Copies of this chain bind each other. A is one copy, B any other.
Amino acid sequence: VLVSTSAPRAGILVTGTEVLTGVITDRNGPWLSERLRDLGVDAAVIEIVGDRPEDLAGALEHMRADGMTLIVTSGGLGPTADDLTAEIVARFCGREMFVDEALSERIDAIVRPLMARWPDVDAEAVRVANIKQATVPRGATVLEPVGTAPGLVVPPADGATGPTVVVLPGPPGELRPMWDVAVATEPFRSAIAGAPIYRTALMRLFGMPESEIAESLRAAEAGGLALDDLEITTCLRRGEIEIGTRFEPDAQPDYDRLVAYLAERHGALLFSPDGSTVDEQVATLLSDRTIAVAESCTAGLLAARLTDRPGSSAYFLGGGVVYSNAAKTDLAGVDPALIERVGAVSTEVAEALASGIARRFGASLGVGITGIAGPDGGTPDKPVGTVCISVWRHDRLTGDAGTFETRRMRLPGNRTDVRERSVTIAMHMLRETLTGDGSG
């Protein structure tokens, strides 16, 4: 694992009591962190504070003390008196505030047509608000407003050292378009001078515990692979393991060897050596086929996931949410005697759902899911979490009889966990069927 010590470091400071108290979910911190990473700059911290000026100033001081060369703030640029970010940053950078008259006029030109929609608004209050937003630190670079608030790039006072502060508005729709403009300014480039150029890459695995990956990386190193120049992060998400790696261009051969090693060691479990998602892969693989689904315990979640992508109507024909036994028979043609004999949660019924729904819609693939999501409905034989999934496909050899891939499993977690995990497993079973098969 590579730790960069001399590289520039950045801090992200998100302001706003609504964000701090959980009323609004912060989307700026992670987004800014990713953008900085693209530039080769590690965010060392994301800090969220409320609208108290002393908390904002304190956070800036901590970041300076920790040696940040760049600080990016979001929020607190509105027209009201408690929007204090610009003023506090000016003081932090040792710069005085002044009214930028030309900027005030540009803000006025933006605000005037908006105001026409609310004839009762007090014109004097609007003028005061515009002047407030046009009051900026002397020597700062102004980033033109996307909404009504200008952004700022504020370098340390002349002759002083310390971080450059990029001040951006809170609404993501205003912050994001300003980012590239901020990055292009001279003080921003200076603040991140010396940042290495990184490449980033992602792999995904399915069907093994996360601890196995740590073991594989140890084995790779023991086997002579050079991993020192690869910065590897593993993470379990929606039942899949994601391996993210960042490296300088020189280390590309090391990374390629790691991918080859993991592909050899884990075979098909490394379903995505290139970072593509199972959803993308299934969508591509379905391009010349058609699919229908019959869902009991997942109740539409697989259909919703398969249609999440634009253009899915080309291959997704329809689905049945077959919660009751009558619905299983009515929509997917499952024989009531079969349900009577083996129970609704069984591999046999999953198969009957898969083939039945495919036939009903004339699809070349069908998926059937039946299970007990809980918390009630479990039995000693079929405890909560028991789920049966079957993928049926029309087959070149067996024709309309088709072939099945069917699994029965017991999934951990609560009702939501069982439902979501079932859908993910169904997506992977679909992927395997579509890659491994000889269907026509």
Contacts and interface: CB of A to CB of B under 8 A. Distances in A.
A14 B47 CA distance: 10
A214 B80 contact: yes
A299 B307 contact: yes
A360 B330 contact: yes
A204 to B, nearest CB: 12
Contacts of A50: 42, 44
Interface stretch (A121-129, A252-260, A389-397): A121-129
Contacts of A298: 304
Contacts of A242: 23
A152 interface: no
A416 to B, nearest CB: 7
Contact of A118 (B126, B209, B310): B209
A45 B34 contact: no
Nearest to A49: B45
Contact of A299 (B33, B55, B129, B303): B303
A48 interface: yes
A195 interface: no
A417 to B, nearest CB: 7
A300 B310 contact: no
A341 interface: no
Given A125-B211, A318-B327, A47 B47 contact: yes
Interface stretch (A58-66, A98-106, A156-164): A58-66
Interface string A208-231: 110110110000000000000000
A23 B319 contact: no
A263 interface: no
Interface centre among A304, A310, A376 (most CB of B within 10 A): A304
B415 A310 contact: yes
Contact of A300 (B22, B300, B326): B300
Interface in A1-55: 3, 17-26, 29-31, 33-34, 37, 42-50, 52, 55
A318 B331 contact: yes
A380 interface: no
Nearest to A415: B310
A323 interface: yes
A213 to B, nearest CB: 10
Question: How many copies of the chain does the oligomer comprise?
Answer: 2
A25 B317 CA distance: 33
A281 B271 CA distance: 43
A300 B321 contact: yes
Interface in A102-121: 118, 121
B211 A79 contact: yes
Nearest to A319: B321
B327 A323 contact: no
A17 B244 CA distance: 11
A261 interface: no
Contacts of A30: 19, 21-22, 25-26
A274 B417 CA distance: 28
A135 B394 CA distance: 55
A326 B363 CA distance: 12
A323 B317 contact: yes
Contacts of A49: 44-45
Interface in A143-192: 173
Given A44-B49, A80-B214, A304 B301 contact: yes
Contacts of A438: none
Interface string A380-401: 0000000000000000000000
B304 A299 contact: yes
A21 B48 contact: no
A173 B45 contact: no
The 5 A-B pairs of least Cβ separation, nearest first, read: A300-B300, A22-B30, A318-B327, A319-B321, A300-B303
